[in-house]
Amino acid sequence: MTILFSEKMRNLLHVFKSTLILLLLINVVISTPPEDPIKCLSNNTTCTITNANGIFPDRSTCKVGEVKYPNTEAELISVVALATKNNIKMKVATRFSHSIPKLVCPDGQKGLLISTNKLNKILKVDVVAKTMVVESGVTLREIISEAGKAGLALPYAPYWWGITIGGLLGTGAHGSSLWGKGSAVHEYVVEIRIVSPSTPQDGYVKVRTLDESDQDHLNAAKVSLGVLGVISQVTLKLESIFKRSITYLSKNDSDLGDEIISFGRKHEFGDVTWYPSQRKALYRIDDRVPINTNGDGLYDSIPFRPTLSAELAIVRTAEEIKELTRDAKGKCIDAKVITIALAALRFGLTNNGSLHEYPVVGFNNRMQSSGTCVDSSNDGLFTACAWDSRIKGQFYHQTAFSIPLSLVKYFIEDVQKLVDLEPNSLCGLELNNGILMRYVTASSAYLGKTEDAVDFDITYYRSKDPLQPRLFEDILEEIEQIGLFKYNGLPHWGKNRNLGFVGAIQKYPNAEKFLKVKAEYDTLGLFSSEWTDQVLGLKEGVTILKDGCALEGLCICSEDSHCAPNYGYFCKPGRIYKDARVCAFHDVKETEGQSVLKDEL
């Protein structure tokens, strides 16, 4: 029965496939804005918060007692003072809450969320000094746009503009560059004003202005996971606006391991999108060009545009069926269709409003970040961001780590060896536009990158059912563990599943310095939670052991029950990294000699 049904569905989907490419071509301009991640019973009390995906890695619910929306720094100060006086746990929340891990959740059910939603003003743009002062709830989009209007540029930035300056500093967010101070936004911060708890003598609150004369504190506050207090204002060092020239070049990936470093050194804004099962690497050749170079380019990333809900549902259903029927080849076919469609659409690059041969040249502020799906007209969910939890859309795990340049070749070669063993295993990643590889540099921030590195973003299918394994579960888990443990990858603080943070803090030589500043700023730990304590190595329990825990990345399996024995997934060593422990599919249960898959069908 299952098979008959899915054959029919598959035929149906082939008909849809050509429609899908057509749909991708439609330039939708309105969209339903993302949902407020905070929901309250009444009067801004008795609330819950999640993230932009509507779910934390452990699928828990985060309850809070109250949400406050300060309009000014003065209001913010009194909010922090009052909560400190009453010994209430606090966390800072942002308009969209784009980080995946449970950073935003205060302990207990009576905690306070301080939203930066109304701290959204640009305070000063100094064209001569090339600086900009903003409140912490200002989004990356506004920073880029306001700077651009003044003839200024934030040179490097995350590719997604729906995040706030306070939030992106919290997790060390970045774009791609090995040049200058590198791609992390916190490298361009020259001053931070931060509001923290304090003693009764201080009126329970202290406001500090940190600048380059106080390197120790600034290095702690630049990437703080939100545990030092509330960042109120940020001063950014900008430069004069400039133009960029972008060409996408697709090559086979046989020499990717050798090319990756020299490519990054050669191209100021370069990145690489890797399609490992297609054995292709897409090089984004992206350089600064003279300002008088012709071109009015715009980069409007296709996955970040408002997308038709119907299209998202078709794509999701197609993948669910392929998971159910173990149709890895089918995923590979779909991945190729999507890759070809994206390439035909120049990945969202246009010149003067239309498709154009490479290179596409344009001003930095129009080429560096995008995210039109957050736009705030309301079309009743006809279109939305792909991951909007109110519709049937993208539902994924994301593993993101950076590997030092000196080791990155070996990591790439290990992944290539796994693809040689299982050629179809990574087509699922390609459905999510492959592995994005971006350059980051060593930072003076205590929780910033420790070495020049390549950051890998790996996005893959997550079942709505936490106990349901995925296709090539073992290969994906092995890659995750190779990156994190064999090559000591540093997890992105704002992405990843729980296991990404196992031993993470030990990888930071300056962690102690960070913890010292934290103890000074927030003696009582009011801005800390169980999760941030675990991540910072102050408490055990970053991973959770229970049935099926490895499927959700809550643990590394050590026994079969952590996988899905009833679906034929057992805990095994990795194929090439023998220290890995992964949930591997075995058609025949070795101990009982009985076909589990047959039982399922």
**Toward ligand FAD, which CB reaches closer, 173 or 475?**
173
| Contact pick of 230, 308, 321, 583 for ligand FAD (by CB under 6 A) | 230
In degrees and rounded to multiples of 5, residue 216 shows phi and psi of -60, -55
Contact between 136 and ligand FAD by CB under 6 A: the answer reads yes
Contacted by 69, from ligand NAG, ligand FAD, none: CB < 5 to 8 Å by type = ligand NAG
Cis peptide bond N-terminal to 565, omega within 30: no
Stretch that binds ligand FAD, among 98-106, 269-277, 290-298, 512-520 (CB under 6 A): 98-106
Q: Per CB under 6 A, which region of 74-82, 90-98, 497-505, 560-568 contacts ligand FAD?
A: 90-98
Q: Please select the residue that binds ligand FAD; options are 102, 174, 267, 518, rule is CB under 6 A.
A: 174
CB of 382 to ligand FAD, least distance (A): 20
With CA atoms as reference, report the closest residue to 468 among 567, 321, 588, 584: 567
Residue 507 token pair: 């990888």
- Provide, rounded to whole angstroms, the least separation between the CB of residue 69 and ligand NAG: 4
The span from the CA of 526 to the CA of 229, in Å, is 9
Cβ at position 68, least distance to ligand NAG in Å: 5
Q: Is 92 in the site for ligand FAD (CB under 6 A)?
A: yes
Residue 417 near residue 425 (C-beta atoms within 8 A) = no
> Contact between 33 and ligand FAD (CB under 6 A)?
no
Least gap, CB of 228 to ligand FAD (angstroms): 7
Query: Could you tell me if 194 and 228 are in contact, meaning their C-beta atoms sit under 8 angstroms apart?
Result: yes
| Biggest alpha carbon–alpha carbon distance for the chain | 76
- Torsion angle (degrees, nearest 10) of CA 78, 80, 82, 87: -170
DSSP conformational letter for 386: T
Among 32, 50, 84, 171, binds ligand FAD (CB under 6 A): 171
Q: How far is the CB of 148 from ligand NAG (least distance, A)?
A: 19
**Nearest approach, Cβ of residue 164 and ligand NAG (Å):** 16
What is the Cα–Cα distance from 298 to 350, expressed in whole angstroms?
5
* b (16+ CB within 10 A) / e for 443-476: bebbbbbbbbbbbbbbbbbbbeeeebbbbbbbbb
Q: Which does 116 bind (CB under 5 to 8 A by kind): ligand FAD, ligand NAG, none?
A: ligand FAD
Q: Binders of ligand FAD: how many residues, by CB under 6 A?
A: 31
Q: Between the CA of residue 448 and those of 144, 179, 250, 345, 444, what are the distances in Å?
A: 22, 16, 31, 35, 7
- Rounded to a whole number of angstroms, the minimum distance from the CB of residue 137 to ligand NAG is 13
Binds 252: which of ligand FAD, ligand NAG, none (CB < 5-8 Å by kind): ligand NAG
Contact residues toward ligand NAG (CB under 6 A) are 42-44, 68-69, 252, 254, 352-353
Residues 306 and 372: beta-carbon distance below 8 Å: yes
C-alpha count within 13 angstroms, C-beta hemisphere, residue 83: 32
Binder of ligand FAD out of 156, 159, 411, 487 (CB under 6 A): 159
Cα–Cα distance list, 274 to 285, 327, 419, 544, 573 (Å):
14, 22, 13, 32, 26
Ranked by CB distance to ligand FAD, the top (closest) residue is 167
Q: What number of other Cβ atoms are within 10 A of residue 424's Cβ?
A: 18
**528 touches ligand FAD (CB under 6 A):** no
Residue 68 or 237: which CB sits closer to ligand NAG?
Answer: 68
What is the DSSP secondary-structure string of 454-511?
Answer: EEEEEEEE--SSTT---TTHHHHHHHHHIIIIIS-PEEPTTS--GGGGTTGGGG-TTH
Assess 99 for contact with ligand FAD (CB under 6 A).
yes
Cβ closest to ligand FAD, residue 165 vs residue 557: 165
- Shortest distance, CB of residue 361 to ligand FAD, whole angstroms? 22
Residue 96 interaction partner, one of ligand NAG, ligand FAD, none, beta carbon < 5-8 Å per kind: ligand FAD
Q: Pick what 44 binds: ligand NAG, ligand FAD, none; C-beta below 5 to 8 Å, kind-dependent.
A: ligand NAG
- The answer to the question of residue 105 lying near ligand FAD (CB under 6 A) is no
Cα distances from 541 to residues 46, 534, 535, 538, in angstroms, run 27, 6, 9, 10
**Which positions lie near ligand FAD, rule CB under 6 A?**
52, 91-94, 96-99, 103-104, 116, 136, 158-160, 163-164, 166-168, 170-171, 173-174, 225-226, 230-231, 494-495
